[in-house]
Amino acid sequence: MTPHDALAPVAVLPAACPASDTARAEAVVQDWLRDYVSRPHEQLGRGGDVCPFVEPAARAGTLMMHTRTGLADADGAELRSLVRDMARTFRTTHWPRTNPTMYAYVLILPDLPRAQWAELDAVQAALKAELAEGGLMLGQFHPECPEPAARNPQFPVSRSPVPLLAMRNMALHDVLFLHNDSRLFAEYQHRFGGRYERGAVADPLLRSSYEAGSTVG
């Protein structure tokens, strides 16, 4: 298992593709990562790329992509097991760089049926605390994903042409996703609280979210 060196240029393809055509699904995801995730979007509510990690990770060779098939009949238990396998792979991969904020793992699920897309949302929510305890963040993406942008709740930012999961290490801005739950916030505070105490965080939304998290009982 080796991280991809970069996002290779690929032809522009339709958003949909047969679930059985894994090569086409992978190419579609590559397009989506390059043309959407690695670019700014006017509805984000902030400047910068949709995901600030993907393009630097691709350049650094720390964007790892795998494809998992055989999920046409997957239930919640199988999807939870899949996520835990992802976490083990993430932790045991020999990454070619020492900066852990650059590590990103994308798992493409081309044959996960539409009926199970909502289950993907539920599994992400169910395992969020378990993963956060290990300093990991997981995002779920599919064509109907309701997950909103942190700074614009009207924008469903996590929609992708093919179902997939993305994992990375917890980062400073993740307070936006963790401050409303005391257990999740405790994990964040353990890792990043010192920066706030030193006054080293300039973004007012991050600071206000951190303050809000500090009051959650």
Domain assignments of the chain as residue spans, ordered by start? 22-169, 178-214
Name 119's bridge partners.
none
- Does the structure show a pLDDT above 60 at 133? yes
- pLDDT tens column, 188-203: 999 999 999 999 999 9
- Does the structure show a pLDDT above 70 at 217? no
Phi, psi (deg, nearest 5) at residue 162: -135, 140
- Does the structure show a pLDDT above 60 at 88? yes
Long-range interactions of 199-202: CB distance < 8 A, separation 24+: 201/172
End-to-end CA distance of the chain: 42
* Short-list 116, 132, 121, CA closest to 159: 121
pLDDT band at 19 (very low <50, low <70, confident <90, very high): low
